[in-house]
Amino acid sequence: MSRLLVLGNAGIDLLCPVPHLPRAGETLVADGQTRAPGGKGLNQAVVAARAGAAVHFAAPVGQDGAADELRAILGAEPFAGLSLLPQDAPTDLSLLMVARDAENCILTLGAAADALSVREADKAVAELGPRDMLLLQGNLSFAATEAAMHAALARGAQVMLNTAPLRWDMAPLLPLCALVVANAGEAESLTGRRAAAAEALHQAGAARAVVTLGAGGCVSAGAAGHHHHPAHPVAAVDTTGAGDTFCGVLAALLLAGQTLPAAVERAQRAAALTVSRPGAFAALPSAAELRALLPGCAA
């Protein structure tokens, strides 16, 4: 069976509902607080595993109670393999503010993710083969991300990159990617183009690109041309985990042999379910929900 290696971050999310996102200099009183596992790498790995992919998740964490908490929670997920890599840094922490109109902003402390070395990144992909896929995000350092990509490609695996968070220049890595997924702002930052950004990412070297547009759906581009994929209507409650659900399901379906248009449409359905309820990790679709949502898939 083909394997999906998700190499990314894992941490703790502190979710605070707020009346609106803070303005410059403004102090807000949150409506409460919830604590949950999080991180783009973790979320995408969990969703892909629940969607039926043989997921191996590798993530740098601290040597602290938060890491123990993550290890216990992730042990209940249907991973084919789990490697939490201890670092001399605290486990990552994110503060998520979610407004009543469902918009959000996120502040992340990523010392453990930044600490992952090139050597560890290379070692993490050592078991990949020609039928496998490596899924990465922007939480690790450029050096570790680039090393993992080259190591995966040397073993014949394909690389999928989600450009969030965009905190260093990813443009040099685009030609290494079989698929790049970016939101509209990230795509514009990488290409300088707001219109036809998916085509611009493809022209910059990505074999295929998908640009997500929120309620506007998404656009894909590649050698077969470009396509607009309308969004599924949904009453949004919290958009925090939508991108991670989309990427996790998309990776799982592509690895299972689905075409990009079919996989995108089904990933949009899963993302729509996520935004219909509050939270990030808590809003991720369960394996049972994915079985009902994606009939005929491996979940």
> For the purposes of burial, counting CB atoms within 10 Å of the CB of 88, is it exposed (0-12), middle (13-18) or buried (19 or more)?
exposed
pLDDT for 103 equals 84
pLDDT for 299 equals 47
Closest CA to 15 of 270, 248, 237: 237
pLDDT for 98 equals 87
> C-alpha distances in angstroms, 235 versus 82, 215, 277?
35, 10, 9
pLDDT for 298 equals 54
Q: Widest CA span of the chain, in angstroms?
A: 53
pLDDT for 243 equals 96
CA distance 158 to 176: 9
Q: Which residues of the chain have pLDDT under 50?
A: 299
pLDDT for 173 equals 98
Q: Residue 62 has what DSSP assignment?
A: -
- The 10 Å CB-count burial string (b at 16+, else e) for 32-70 is eeeebbbbbbbbbbbbbbbbbbbbbbbbbbbeeebbeeb
pTM: predicted TM-score of the whole model, two decimal places: 0.94
State the number of CA atoms in the 13 A half-sphere of 288 facing the CB: 0
